[in-house]
Chain A
Amino acid sequence: MKPSRTTRVVVTVLFIGMLATPLAIRQLSARRQAAQSKLDESQALARYGFHLQEVSQQAGVAFVHQAPTLDAKLDGIMPEVASMGASVSIVDFDRDGWPDLYVTNSKTGSLNCLYRNMHDGTFKEVAGPMGLADVNQPGTGVSMGAVWGDYDNDGYEDLFLIKWGRPELFHNDHGRGFTRVTETAGLPLWINANTAVWLDYDGDGLLDLFVGGYYSEKLDLWHLRDTRMMPESFEYAKNGGRKFLFHNLGNGRFEEVSEKVGIQSNRWALAASAADLRGTGRPDLFIANDYGVSELFLNEGGHFQEAGQATGVGFAPKSGMNVAYGDILNQGKYAIYVSNISEEGVLIQGNNLWVPREGDASLKYENLARDMGVELGGWSFGAQFGDLNNDGYLDLYLTNGYVSLNRSKSYWYDFSRVAGGNSKIIGDAANWPAMDGRSLSGYQQKKVWINDGAAKFVDVAQAVGATDIYDGRSVVMADLWNRGVLDVVVANQRGPLLIYKNTVSPENEWLELALVGASSNRSAIGAQVTLYWNGQHQLQQVSGGSGFAAQNDRRLHFGLGKNPQIEKAVIRWPSGKTQTVENLVPGKLYNVTEAE
């Protein structure tokens, strides 16, 4: 039997329709993108409720990150292997009530910077006199990030410096300077880490410290014996750095207990963050791994159980680079944002937005990044949730871009053919073709996704002024000038530190809480606040490190929208105590100390 002419015509037309479908989808997406044209401040305020202006120069911050230069055996692919180290963290190191910035540098001999907030819109660099600048000396490795926590509960935030090299702990001497206490604390001589988190995993009131290795700690990246230092697989690598959990003994010393408590992994950790995901009162630990699946270590009373597969977050291997928690639906539950790689035509991993499933007795997540519109962000790195327009819903700021060199030449072809090869090939840097000045997912536009409160995010980055195309790494949010808005600071690899000052529509109101622990750790890291207003509620926590190589302000910022009626704030402290604060009014920063 032969098909009739009509049949053939109909099927052919349908076939053409099938071929046209992706083009139509692309066209629609391009049109949507075109609508995101740049707006001036008043238009952005009217349409989206906020506008960002980059003010680093006016603020007196002229920091430009310098990348590491590792062993000469890696020269051909140096931009790729030395592609991290730019980081920023927020701390009020002198307890003057104004957030300061600590910024890492990564070239051997380069200086890190501590920017003290001068309360007048400017910052003053004070790392030298404070003893926190010259921390990248030859033979000690270089900085990759920093997290702050008051490990001795003396009221001042201490600094853990994440390095490829000798990790460092600095004690804050009442805001007047810092003393290096690495040896006293009992930290190891060398870790090639990109992430660390302060957390009180056992609820003893003392901050413990998690450090996630990236490259193996056996490697001195400046003196390599050979070139077999790359991941053994692009998606299944287990030859990365080990994990460390330093239990705070309370006498200035730490004991490494990772094996004892069940945190054992040699995956390539790039980001980690802790949060109580099940309401147990103890922080769980989420690790986003490069070259593999994410890991979720559930805290079972001080012992950890890896539950990545069981909860659904550890099934599809990707290139995890970020962990940020946010109660995006105002349901009192955290979604978890993990960034990955998406490069058109080569690799579409898509970022993950892990949202807890409703109705499941046990903790299960589903990835709703695509449904909610936060899936594609290029070669994504750091991201943070925060209510940028004070409308009562958490928005998401994502920075991206891997290596921006020659704009017209791409390294992707060479990258993909080696990444797809056998472990003996991918694992040896000598097999990787030289980059020769080519870019790898460079010059990418950032994403500022605003949350419409109905499970959809819309990218407004270009419209609201986040227009840079540097190779972004670390993002933090803080109300830098105590104005009731969240500003954004971005650290860029081989690029300037950017300070995006936020202007928000005045009709949207806000409330901020600064928590101080008493029987809990004094930094109140791990404390969770549920704010109830206008018949809704939102959960936030004080974090000991989140995003990528970043730490937001410890003060919690709640956007409240128009005409808010605040009912109460319920604080659950790491000690297990619950404290309810009532009679709160919008537009204020409240200092709350844990009730004894």
Chain B
Amino acid sequence: MSSQVSIGQPAKLEVAWKRFFSPSNRYLSPLLISCVLLVGQLSYGILESYTRTLLAIATSLVAEIVLSRIYFGKWPILVSAYISGISVGILVRSPAFWPYALCALISITSKYVLRVHDRHIWNPSNFGIVAMFILASGSVAGLSIQWGNFIWPMIVIWTLGSAIIWRLRRFHISATYVASFLGFALLRSWITGDPWRSEISPITGPMYQLFIFFMITDPKTTVRSKTGQILTIIAVAAVEMVLRLHQVVYAPFYALFVVGPTAMLLEMWLESRRARLLVAHA
């Protein structure tokens, strides 16, 4: 018996482990963002408050259920709404409650309203947060603090995030962005004469970690081809650099807001042209 266990158990574990970290496991991303939240909160209390974050998550989930029932008549899978809610709950900073609920509501509703060829083209939380930055700047700011003075929470999140994103086969997106950001940061430093450390400073903060692992890698709002994804993300970093040269505080969100849908629309146009050509050839 014991020999059977000692041979069989690791095999089962290995299977379970592989299944868990399989790219098809849709719960990997929410697990990762929950880990980010926990590490950030337990080590430094990065949240404005638990209640505000829970409000954002709850609003996202409820909005997703209601809209999915109204629009498609079916019960939704809540993974995406959970990620949107938690992103809003972490990234939005406001002493008031309403911005959390409203931002979550705008984020989820944008998925249903802003659709082209039955695909939503904006990352939901990116849309919601940019909308709040533009429309409610007197009440809302973005997460702009760091993880405090210890490097370990940052290392944990970067390592865990990279491993999971690797398994989800989207690591190239995050890696491209990081490389582009660093390259453009040095270019900015050369242009402005500011210390290079001040230019790379933002990427060392939690706002960018959420941006890198959750927003730009969102499968629903990124183009399909790997080359397209890489080019898109370089374009995001390039637009961000231009915005940063104009001293725009929340440059990455605005850059993704502009480049993301543009790339999606371009891809749709190219696909429809290709389809038309195939039909014509046939």
A interface residue numbers (CB < 8 A to B): 1-3, 7-8, 11-12, 14-15, 18-19, 21-23, 25-26, 29, 232-239, 315-317, 343-350, 367, 369-370, 375-376, 410, 412-414, 416-423, 425-428, 430-434
B interface residue numbers (CB < 8 A to A): 44-45, 48-49, 67, 70-74, 93-96, 99, 102, 105-106, 109-110, 112-113, 131-133, 135-141, 144-151, 154, 192, 194-195, 197-202, 204-205, 207, 247-249
Say yes or no: B198 contacts A418, CB within 8 Å: yes
- Least distance between A357 CB and chain B CB atoms (Å): 16
Q: How many A-B residue pairs have CB under 8 A?
A: 167
Say yes or no: B72 contacts A426, CB within 8 Å: no
Compute how far the CA of A346 lies from the CA of B148 in the bound complex, rounded to whole angstroms.
19
Say yes or no: B204 contacts A422, CB within 8 Å: yes
Say yes or no: A420 contacts B207, CB within 8 Å: yes
- Least distance between A4 CB and chain B CB atoms (Å): 9
Known contacts A417-B249, A418-B198; 9 further A-B pairs (Cβ under 8 A): A234-B146, A345-B133, A345-B138, A376-B138, A419-B145, A421-B200, A431-B201, A433-B192, A434-B194
> What are the residues of chain A within 8 A of B138 when measuring CB–CB?
26, 29, 344-345, 348, 376
Compute how far the CA of A433 lies from the CA of B105 in the bound complex, rounded to whole angstroms.
38
Cβ 8 A contact of B145, one of A29, A414, A420: A420
Which A residue's beta carbon lies closest to that of B110?
A15
Say yes or no: A348 contacts B139, CB within 8 Å: yes
> What are the residues of chain A within 8 A of B148 when measuring CB–CB?
232-233, 235-236, 423
Which A residue's beta carbon lies closest to that of B247?
A413
- Least distance between B148 CB and chain A CB atoms (Å): 4
Cβ 8 A contact of B141, one of A3, A347, A414: A347
Cβ 8 A contact of B132, one of A22, A315, A432: A22
Say yes or no: A421 contacts B201, CB within 8 Å: yes
Say yes or no: A236 contacts B44, CB within 8 Å: yes
Say yes or no: A421 contacts B105, CB within 8 Å: no
CB-CB under 8 A for A417 and B113, given A11-B71, A345-B141? no
> What are the residues of chain A within 8 A of B144 when measuring CB–CB?
234, 346-347, 416, 419-420
Which A residue's beta carbon lies closest to that of B105?
A18
Compute how far the CA of A506 lies from the CA of B147 in the bound complex, rounded to whole angstroms.
55
Compute how far the CA of A420 lies from the CA of B192 in the bound complex, rounded to whole angstroms.
19
- Least distance between B90 CB and chain A CB atoms (Å): 14
- Least distance between B65 CB and chain A CB atoms (Å): 14
> What are the residues of chain A within 8 A of B93 when measuring CB–CB?
347-348
Which among B49, B110, B136, B138 has the greatest number of chain A C-beta atoms within 10 A? B138
Cβ 8 A contact of B113, one of A11, A344, A430: A11
- Least distance between A193 CB and chain B CB atoms (Å): 22
- Least distance between B110 CB and chain A CB atoms (Å): 7
**10 tightest A-B CB contacts, nearest first:** A421-B201, A22-B136, A350-B95, A413-B247, A345-B137, A236-B148, A422-B204, A423-B149, A232-B149, A420-B205
